[in-house]
Amino acid sequence: SYVLTQPPSVSVAPGKTAKITCAGDKIASKSVHWYQQRPGQAPVLVIFDDFDRPSGIPERFSGSNSGNTATLTIRGVEAGDEADYYCQVWDSSSGQIYVFGSGTRVTVL
Amino acid sequence: EVQLSGSGGGLVQPGGSLRLSCAASGFTFGSYAMTWVRQAPGRGLEWVSTLSADGRSTYYAASVNGRFDISRNNYRSTLYLQMNRLTVEDTALYFCAKDDTDSGLDSHLDYWGRGTLVTVSS
C-alpha cells in the first residue's frame, strides 16, 4: 500500500513561516491535498491538487509537490493556525483509495 | 452553505451493530460521491468507505470490508454506514465528507461533517 510520511510536529513563532512535508514514493505523479484540523473540530480542506486553495482559505497557505516530497507552507503564521495538518493522495494501486499521512501538529510558540 | 450532519453514534458491545446517518444540504447531493473517514481517540485520519454519486460503486478499507456497508438515499440527501460485527478497534469519531467528483476516483474531500462518536466496549 502507498505510504505518506509526515513529521509528527513543527514549531514556529508567530509571523514566521512553517513548512510541513509529506513524503511518498514518486508523490509528484499524484495530486496532493492538505487538511487542517483544529482541536475538537472537523478537518477543513486548505490545499487541493498540489497548490490550489479553496475559497476562503488565506493566501498565506500554499502548496508544492516535487519528486518524492510535497510541502504545505504557511507564511505569517498566526495563533489560529495551530492545528494538525494531514496530507492525502488518491491511490488506485491498493485497496486504500484515500491515503492520509500520519499528520503533523503545528505549534505556534 | 454546505452542511453535513452525522448521527447514530453511541456505545455498543463488541460484536454488535450500529447504523450511522449523514444528512446533507446546501449542494446537489446526488451529483457527488460521499465518503466516511474515522479518527480513533488521539490518532490520525483513516479512510473507511466511499460511495459513488449513483450508488453503484462502493469502496471499503480492508479493515472494514465485509463488515461495513455504505449506502445512500439521494431523494433524502442522506448517506448511511451500516456497521456490523464491531470490535474495540472500531472505536472512533466517524466523519462523513463530500467528494469533489461523482465517482470518488482521484478525488479529495471538500466538505466534512462534525463527526459522530462510536464507542465499542463491554
Contacts of A42 (CB under 8 A, 6+ apart): B95, B112, B113, B114, B115
Instruction: Specify the pLDDT at position A93.
Output: 81
Nearest Cβ partner for A98 among B35, B44, B113: B35
- Per-residue pLDDT for chain B (122 aa), expressed as one digit of tens each? 999 999 999 999 999 999 999 999 999 999 999 999 999 999 999 999 999 999 999 999 999 999 999 999 999 999 999 999 999 999 999 999 999 999 988 899 999 999 999 999 99
Per-residue pLDDT tens digits for A17-50: 999 999 999 999 999 999 999 999 999 999 999 9
With b meaning 16 or more CB within 10 Å and e meaning fewer, what string describes B68-85?
A: bbbebeeeebbbbbebee
Q: pLDDT tens digits for A96-109?
A: 789 999 999 999 99
Beta bridge partner(s), residue A66: A69
Nearest by CB: A86 against B44, B111, B114: B44
> What's the pLDDT at B88?
98
Contact by Cβ (8 Å): A61, A74? yes
Residues of B in contact with A86 (CB under 8 A): 44-45
In 3D space, the residue among B117, B65, B66 whose CA is nearest the CA of residue B92 turns out to be: B117
User: Looking at beta carbons, which residues of chain A come within 8 Å of B37?
Assistant: 43, 98, 100
pLDDT (mean) for A48-68 = 97
Q: Do A98 and B106 touch (CB under 8 A)?
A: no
Instruction: Name every chain A residue with its beta carbon within 8 A of the beta carbon of B95.
Output: 42-43
Question: How far does the CA of residue B3 sit from the closest CA of chain A (Å)?
Answer: 12
**A100 inside 8 A of chain B by CB:** yes
**Contact flag B95-A101 (C-beta cutoff 8 Å):** no
Nearest-Cα residue of chain B relative to residue A32: B108
Q: Cα(B84)–Cα(B72) distance, rounded to whole angstroms?
A: 17
**CB-closest option in A45, A84, A96 to B108:** A45
Residue pair B104/B59 in contact by the 8 Å Cβ criterion = yes
